[in-house]
Structure 1
Amino acid sequence: MSELKKDIISVADLLATKSLTIPDYQRPYRWTLKNVVQLFHDIDTHRDKTAYRLGTIVFHSDEEKGELNIVDGQQRTLTLLLAVWAIIEKRLSKIDRGLLKEQVQRLSSPVEHLLNDQTFSSDISKANLRANFLEIKRIVGRPDFTEAHIDFLLNKCQVVTFTLENVSEAFQFFDSQNARGKDLSPHDLLKAYHLREFGIPEQHLKAQSVADWESLKSKTLEKLFADYLYRIRRWASGERALYFGKDQVDVFKGVNLYMGDAFPYTTSLKIAHHYTDEFNQQYQRKVDGQYQKYPFGLDQPIVNGRRFFEMVAHYQKQIEALISNEYESSDAFLGVQLSEDAHKILQTLNSSALYKNKRRTGDIYIRELFDCALIFYWDKFGVTDLSRAIEKLFIWAYSLRIQRQVLQLSSVDKYVVEELNVFKLISQPIHPSQLMALRLPMLNDELNRNNSGKNRGNKNQSAVSAKVYDPLVILFEGMGYYE
């Protein structure tokens, strides 16, 4: 393998690099206004730091053509190129600081050269480049985008570069980075983001946060975010939650209590944050042994940095405890004696003997829906009226199962967002009784599409067969929701 050159360079040095080229084989430019706004938000938030890393760029050095081709990182590079060109157009003549003005002037030629040398055949690239450039010009033209921001962007924002002379090896290196999986998984992207968000007073707590995070298996974190945290947060806000990937990680980015604007809504977060720490650090705790947990909420704003890691650990324990309790055969659940109906529900759902179809794909999706709703209820109201909540949420979730012959995740997602969103209802009320008052539809054989031919629809079977063979129907009928 040819020599791998690694370097850390500023944005100014990147854009001043001679023979920088974006080859034709690169995919279309897909960054949108969302990415642009996030970039400039980061610049504003971190401008007091001595350095801020923007990511990694992989180069192939083509000595025959005298080109330095971007193998990975073109989205970021093009956006930075647009940003500096917008500064040249909108701000160059107005910059007062002599050295900074000279630096921007020196960048004019290489930036213009790089822009003129690029051709974009994709309509997607052209549309995104134009829209982003117009937005960036608006941003850099505002009075609150100061010369300090310009200086920070050019000289303190950095990228890590890897350069190889063999193009195959450059792509192999790029693929090896992507193939690691762990480094590019959504939860690990969140880990990197929130480590950067630690406030200065909390820097000494980073090591413990990382250790606690690494103690959880990657598969555990993947399931925690994708199957529970993401769906609950999105559904509670009335949004679709079909898939959790790298493009959805912003759902778990929130407010930094040590940096950025002090919006009114952050006051209660700061009070809870500092009160919790102050309470736990008082000398009396050494005597009484009390410990106050931070009051997390599944639908509350994310507090960046340390609290994010604590939140993940908190809900991993909470959800694991609830799920493990669900699968016990006891008539007690989370320390509460269940009603007869609630006990029958959990006993049936957990038994392969009683509920033979529980492993079907659609039934698994419905069970996850039921679990998410129960987790969210518990997060809001604890064990208050827990049996009635289990009964109500079971009828709500499994009504969809009974009424559908084929059930996909998209069907579940649509049911929540467009038909009857229990998550929004749980998020809004101040007492569990408001959920209990939810009116749910009565089902019957005509609406039942879940039963297979041997149980329903067979000429040799009566309609009563559904009630005999289907454990869900038996539960619904016993609770007065099937006639």
Structure 2
Amino acid sequence: MAKVSTCPYSDLFQRYPRIGIPEYQRPYRWDEQKATDLLNDFNEFFLNDQNKAQEYYMGSILFFKNVESDVYEVIDGQQRLTTLILLEVALTGHLMPEKQLKYNSHTSFLNIKKIRTYFEGRKELLLKLQEHNFLKRLCLTIVVSDNEDNAFAFFESNNNRGVSLSADDYLKAYHLRAVSSEYLQEDLAEEWERKTFNAQRINDAETGLIHLFYNILYRSRSWRGKDTRQPSKPLVLETFQKQTKKSLKPNVFPLFASSQNLRYKEIDLDQSEPLVEYQENNLAKTTLPFAIRQPIYKGYHFFQYVDKYHEIYLELLRNKSDQHEVHKMRKFYDDVYDKNMSVFLRHYMQLLLVTYYDRFSDDQLYKAVQYFDYFIGSIRIDKYYVREEAVKNSLTKDIDHNLLDIISNAYLPDEIFDFITAQNKVMESYKNESLEGNDGVRAQYKQRVLLYYQKTETKLHNRASWIQ
């Protein structure tokens, strides 16, 4: 079980006494550039009169509560925690006993000495920041796990995912700073951490926010026309940070016409009429009044947007659903897109399904997954080795128009289905199909399709006519 809460840095060691760094942790590796970036950010935030009452969100720390030793072991967040201690020491000139963490790496010792010296050289700025009570306004999300296996799984996943996969933490911190309500900040931070921790707990990265941003939301929003740039940390941050907009009126965000919104033009957080309606009628987050390609506004609007599409993803591909069309679609997906399916093609199918559901909800969803498989399957039977380039080519080079654009702009599902069946290259792939049992993953895919449709024939030539 994991408990999630928020805590100001100034209260951290009182709320969680006896904090320790396990031996398996990586060394402390901050350099002067990172320290400079942090102070520059502090300078911009705390010395800005418009932010004088707001907290600065510093990210999350994961503890494993070791009951035997009565120690809160730092599983994730050691780097930022060490940096904050060094910053406080440089400012006050002393280190409280409870903050004397033990390190067992020469790399840690050298970097700690270097960063402490650097912060001491910036004492003038630190004193200015202290006039604005910055240490009391640094806010952290704290996750405490009482299960050692879950904590280690979370630790290993975080340390293996690499620098390029840290965009979710960066986006969370960025948009929390745009939320003026401290209560709302805490609620949003806890919900975000819960999503992240749950994905790690069940060891299913595809239910996490990194997968959502990189493989679903970025691609659905940005892959337009001939533009199919591979998602990367800079592009994801540009899309969901730099390209987000600031509301002209405090706590008021525009809404745009979509299949889920034909009534409202804005959300006023002081009244929140649309969201109150959803809560009072127990409507799912999947029906929140957003469209996947619409402009996103900083702060609360961003978190609601992410909530909607994370819930749609889970509804379609993970949770048990009472919707008949979703249930049939999932049966097809689970049977045909099993672990032997190319990961690129599986993610491609997920992208198309979420984009379609955003436009049409569950209307003809079962038919849609079959048409999408007819389209994607032509890539599988043509190529023994599927690369990301094959997915991008299928949207830009091999067909008349980008399929994501077709889905997003369609008024009726049949417009999408007619477009797919009109693609000559797809038809030719099935017409020329002659896979045998020794053709590896391609033949395995073919057998899954034949088995699903309960066909006794040995070819896929009539594949389009099987769609129910």
TM-score (norm 1): 0.51
Which of 318, 343, 349 is residue 364 of structure 1 equivalent to?
343
> By how many angstroms is 1:275 displaced?
8.7
Show the counterpart of 1:442: 427
- Counting matched residue pairs gives 315
Tell me the residue number matched to 2:212.
Answer: 224
> Following TM superposition, by how much is the alpha carbon of 1:183 offset from its aligned partner in structure 2, in angstroms?
11
* 8 Å contact kept, 1:232–1:298: yes
Deviation at 1:276, TM superposition (A): 10
Change (3 A) 1:193 1:281: closer
Shift of 1:470: 3.7
Deviation string, structure 1 residues 198-241 (Cα, Å, up to 9, x no partner): 2x4x4541111111111112652222222222222222565324
Q: Deviations over 1:319-374 (max 9, x none)?
A: 1110026xx8xxxx76225899x6884363156xxxxxx525xx221121112101
How far apart, in 2, do the equivalents of 1:215 and 1:382 lie?
Answer: 26
RMSD: 5.3
Distance 1:247 1:321 in 2: 27
In structure 1, what is the equivalent of residue 293 of structure 2?
A: 299
Aligned to 1:311: 305
1:238–1:424: structure 2 CA closer, same or farther, 3 Å change rule? farther
1:229 partner amino acid = L
Q: Would the aligned equivalents of 1:345 and 1:394 in 2 still touch at CA under 8 Å? A: no
Give 1:184-333 correspondences, 5 Å limit: 185-198=166-179, 200=180, 202-217=181-196, 219=205, 220-236=208-224, 238-253=226-241, 254-258=244-248, 268=256, 271-274=265-268, 277-279=271-273, 294-324=288-318
Q: Equivalent residue of 2:227, what SS?
A: coil
What's the CA shift for 1:185? 0.7
Q: Which residue in 2 is equivalent to 1:107?
A: none
Superposition pairs of residues 461-476 of structure 1, within 5 angstroms? 470-472=447-449, 476=460
Equivalent AA in structure 1 for residue 193 of structure 2: E
Residues 223 and 229, structure 2, Cα contact 8 Å, conserved in 1: yes
Asked if 1:346 is matched to 2:340, the reply is: no
Distance in 2 of aligned mates of 1:365 and 1:430: 28
**Greater radius of gyration (CA):** 1
Query: Per the alignment, do residues 203 and 431 of structure 1 end up closer, same or farther by CA in structure 2, a change over 3 Å counting?
Result: farther
Deviation at 1:181, TM superposition (A): 6.3
Q: Which amino acid aligns with 1:257?
A: S
Deviation at 1:47, TM superposition (A): 8.4
Q: What is the CA–CA distance in structure 1 between the aligned matches of 2:279 and 2:239, rounded to whole Å?
A: 38
* Residues 182, 204 of structure 1: alpha-carbon distance in 2 compared, 3 angstrom cutoff: farther
* In 2: Cα distance, 1:225 partner to 1:468 partner: 28
For the residues of structure 2 that align with 1:424 and 1:301, how far apart are their CA atoms?
16
Contact kept, 8 Å, 2:326 with 2:362, in 1: the verdict is no
Q: Which residue of 2 aligns with 1:32?
A: none
Secondary structure of the structure 1 residue equivalent to 2:428: coil
* CA displacement, residues 113-149 of structure 1 (integer Å, 9 cap, x when unaligned): xxxxxxxxxxxxxxxxxxxxxxxxxxxxxxxxxxxxx
Inter-CA distance 168–321: structure 2 relative to 1 (3 Å threshold): same
Tell me the equivalent position of 2:78: none
Query: Cα deviations across residues 405-428 of structure 1 (Å, max 9, x unaligned)?
Result: 221122212322333321110111
Distance of 2:268 and 2:347 partners within structure 1: 35
The counterpart of 1:384, out of the listed 335, 356, 363, is: 363
Say if 2:432 and 2:461, in contact at 8 Å, map to a contact too: no
5 Å-filtered alignment, 1:111-122, equals: none
> Residues 304 and 281 (structure 1 numbering): CA distance in 2 closer, same or farther, change over 3 Å?
closer
Give unmatched runs, 5+ long, in structure 1: 15-41, 57-159, 352-357, 457-464
1:447 Cα shift?
Answer: 4.2
Q: Give the 3-state SS of the residue equivalent to 2:216 in structure 1.
A: helix
Q: Superposition pairs for residues 130-145 of structure 1, below 5 Å? A: none
- Once the two structures are superposed, the pairs formed by residues 82-161 of structure 1 within 5 Å of their partners are none
Inter-CA distance 51–369: structure 2 relative to 1 (3 Å threshold)? same
Counterparts of 1:296 and 1:445, CA distance in 2 = 38
SS in 2 for 1:376: helix
- Does the Cα contact within 8 Å between 1:466 and 1:473 map onto a contact in 2? no
Structure 1 residues 186 and 162: CA distance shift in structure 2, 3 A? farther
1:273 aligned counterpart, secondary structure: strand
Measured against aligned partners, the alpha-carbon deviations of 1:78-132 in whole angstroms (never above 9, x if no partner) come to xxxxxxxxxxxxxxxxxxxxxxxxxxxxxxxxxxxxxxxxxxxxxxxxxxxxxxx
Q: Using the alignment, how far apart are the partners of 2:359 and 2:90 within structure 1? A: 52
- 1:389 Cα deviation (Å)? 1.3
| Whole-Å separation in 2 of the counterparts to 1:368 and 1:468 | 16
Residues 364 and 467 of structure 1, relative CA distance in 2, 3 Å threshold: closer
2:372 and 2:269 mapped to 1: Cα distance?
A: 35
Normalising to structure 2: TM-score of the pair?
0.52
Q: Which aligned pairs between 1:163-178 and structure 2 lie closer than 5 A? A: 168-169=110-111
In structure 1, C-alpha distance between the alignment counterparts of 2:56 and 2:184, rounded to whole Å: 23
Q: What amino acid is the match of 2:408?
A: S
* Matched-pair identity in %: 19
Q: 1:417 and 1:302, CA in 2 relative to 1: closer, same or farther beyond 3 A?
A: farther
Preserved contact between residue 242 and residue 410 of structure 1 (Cα < 8 Å): no
* Structure 1 position 415 matched with structure 2 position 394: yes
Counterpart code for 1:395: Y
Distance 1:258 1:235 in 2: 28
| Superposition deviation, residue 285 in structure 1 | 9.4
Distance between the aligned counterparts of 2:235 and 2:445, measured in 1?
A: 46
Contact 1:182/1:188 (8 A) holds in 2:
no
- Whether the 8 Å CA contact 1:209–1:309 is kept in 2: the answer is yes
5+ residue gaps, structure 2? 1-27, 59-86, 92-107, 117-157, 198-204, 258-263, 454-459
Q: 1:295 Cα deviation (Å)? A: 0.7
Aligned twin of 1:68: none
* Native 8 Å contact 1:467 1:473 kept in 2: no
Distance 1:320 1:364 in 2: 18
